[in-house]
A and B are shown apart, each in its own frame.
Chain A
Amino acid sequence: MQFNSLIFILFAGLFFAGWPLLKRRNTTRWVYLVVASFIFYGWWDWRFLFLIIGSGLIDFFAGLAMQRYSSRRNLWLVLSVCGNVGSLAIFKYLDFGVGNLNWLLEAFGIDAQIPVVRLILPVGISFYTFQSMSYTIDVYHGLLRPTHNIFHFFAYLSLFPQLVAGPIVRAKDLLPQLETVSEVSADERWQGLNLMVFGFFKKVVVADTLAGTVNAAFSAPELSPSAGYWWIVMVMFAFQIYCDFSGYSDIARGLGKWMGYEFPVNFRNPYIASSFQEFWQRWHISLSTWFRDYVYIPLGGSRKGAIRNQVNLWITMLISGLWHGAAWHFIFWAMVHSFYLTVERFTAWPRKLTRLPGGRHLATLAVFVLTVLAWVFFRAQTLEQALGVFRMMFNFGNFNFALADRLIDNNARNVLLIIIGSQLFFHLGLDKGQWTTSRSRPKLAFDSVFIAVLIAVCVFNRAPSNIFIYFQF
């Protein structure tokens, strides 16, 4: 079930109608959450519910076993990690591995092609697998007491607002929240509404409108030869993926607020970052912190010298690239960002640049442009296509804005201007101005009308629906 579908609106209506009645007792609440979440997920393909259940059962019992047989905690942890990574390996990476093996066999002149399996990738498998793993790892480290109630555990693992595309919520943050339920205040309801409306706006108006132009550019039989066109398309993609993904996170957080739960902020205007380190502190925060805590720091983090620090960084980033998808272009995307971070670490160029007059703006612009270039690897369907797009983008002899103008849809151009305007609004700090933070009656009335208008805009100015990009990860 997608958030931007009629069926979800009906589902959410029914869920919130029952929530005030059924949330009051722990077991009833957990069962209600599990049933609702399974309906939400099973609507897409009920067969994959068995995968969540299987993966969850391994971690639930591994957690209990760690508590009961603490001398063999390592064994239970290995079992849990193998179960989770194993399901990812089978459903997500098997064909990629087989494809590469076949390529290697061919390179060595061995004529033995291993058939690919072509399994369907279960929606959101990377999200719930990581969420499930965080439970056993936290129990292993003694940061969390394992829950003894299986519905409590599955309410955490499958909670529908963030099940398929995050934010990835840690067990130590969410399990205690699920043990209680607070009455939702008027302020929380208002914040929840704001988050949901902005989330829907980002998805159905901005991301889906930009998607039309971006998809057309990448699915054309031949790449258009205009550099101007490709720069605009890639800037559009940068905002498409941001609005698509952060829109989902906003809706999830808004739903959480209406339920009385707090999910972590997943995006903080990443494109106004003035360094790559800052960019990764603002982009997909729940995943970045997951990798920091469960991969980078266990590898040694920055405690073992500058060179080892960079090795750890590259390993973490490459795994993050693979997390996004089983394809070489995702690995290249991660390599490009690793390279950016390494160069930044050794040269400290953003800090030096920000000391110059207007340097902060220049640093932000430079980080944005370099991020856009890295997105080429992320969006392209193949490595060859990515290299082709680079050739076009740097074909400075042919900017041909007239061609770009002809190929780019008017709505997409208008939406791009609006989103760039909103980024400037945040970059210049106008969101902290007197009027924007005012609690006066006219401002409150203005906000209400603004949100109402945005709702109407989401209904009547939505673009043809596209699946959320991060569903495929």
Chain B
Amino acid sequence: MTMPLTQPDNVSKPRHTGRWWAERTFATLLLAGAMIYVTGSLRPEKDIGMYPDEYWARKITWERCADAVLTGDSRVLMGVAPQELSSVLPYKQIRNFGFGANWYSPEYLDAVEKMLLPEGPRKAVFMGITPHSLTGRTNDVMGNYLELKKMSPRDIYVATHFGALVYFFQPMSLRDAFHGLFPARRPQTRCGIIVMTVGWRCTRRRLR
């Protein structure tokens, strides 16, 4: 005798007949979801402009986008504004390609070269040299170019297209959560960062 098609193979009888949505596992997952939402909402507001991961993901993939490139480490990243330079220099597209920690590695110089527009009438690379930018020891510092360059294409895609989601789920210190819960306890002034599409991270002090 053949088995009817609807009869499953060797399926034992269910041991639980309650409603699945009323059970403990589901209730716990719901509670966890609520906690994640509340905790994520406590995060201090993001930098003005792009989300941090989106900013770095876009920056390390820049190619053929500038006729002048500002290079170096945090001094350049935070200190040199492309907009200001373009008002006094004869370049139309100036990009700040500085990183929090950086040195002039061959990989970095290759990336700088690739950023230059091939058809431009004049091209320039400005080098902001500090003692640290000449030593490979900056590879050990978080946020250096070579470390960021290791982002996989998948991570770059996610950071570029789902920046808000990535930011929401980023690890958070207890202090950040505490300040989110009690904004009045925040320090009187704190540093705000404005992330520019041209690569400059402008810092300014602002009241809480």
Contacts and interface: CB of A to CB of B under 8 A. Distances in A.
Please report whether the interface of chain A is mostly helix, strand, loop or mixed according to DSSP: helix
Contact of B28 (A29, A184, A451): A451
A185 interface: yes
Interface in A447-464: 448-449, 451-453, 455-456, 459-463
Contacts of B35: 452-453, 455-456
A185 B16 contact: yes
Contacts of A117: none
B169 interface: yes
Interface string B1-30: 000000011111111101010011101110
Contact of B23 (A7, A183, A189): A189
Contacts of A183: 11-16
A111 B35 CA distance: 66
Contacts of A461: 171-172
A24 B32 contact: no
Contact of B10 (A7, A180, A449): A180
A189 B25 contact: yes
Interface string B148-180: 000000100010000000000101100001000
Interface in A434-471: 444, 448-449, 451-453, 455-456, 459-463
B10 A26 contact: yes
B83 interface: no
A193 interface: yes
Interface in A179-203: 179-187, 189-190, 192-193
B36 interface: yes
B134 interface: no
Given A183-B11, A185-B15, A449 B31 contact: yes
Interface string B33-61: 00110011000000000000000000000
Contacts of B13: 183
Interface string A2-28: 000011000000000000000011100
B11 A448 contact: no
B35 to A, nearest CB: 4
Contact of A452 (B18, B23, B32, B40): B32
B9 A26 contact: yes
Contacts of B28: 190, 193, 448, 451-452
A184 B20 CA distance: 11
Nearest to A193: B25
B158 to A, nearest CB: 7
A287 B106 CA distance: 45
Contact of B39 (A26, A187, A456): A456
A187 B32 CA distance: 19
A462 B171 contact: yes
A448 B33 CA distance: 13
Contacts of B39: 456, 459-460
Contact of B12 (A182, A192, A444, A449): A182
Interface of B: 8-16, 18, 20, 23-25, 27-29, 31-32, 35-36, 39-40, 154, 158, 169, 171-172, 177
Cβ-closest 6 pairs across A and B: A24-B8, A183-B14, A455-B32, A452-B32, A180-B10, A452-B31
Given A24-B8, A29-B9, 5 more contacts: A26-B9, A180-B9, A183-B12, A189-B23, A460-B169
15 contacts: A7-B154, A24-B11, A25-B8, A180-B9, A186-B16, A189-B25, A193-B29, A451-B28, A452-B28, A452-B31, A452-B32, A453-B32, A455-B35, A459-B36, A460-B40
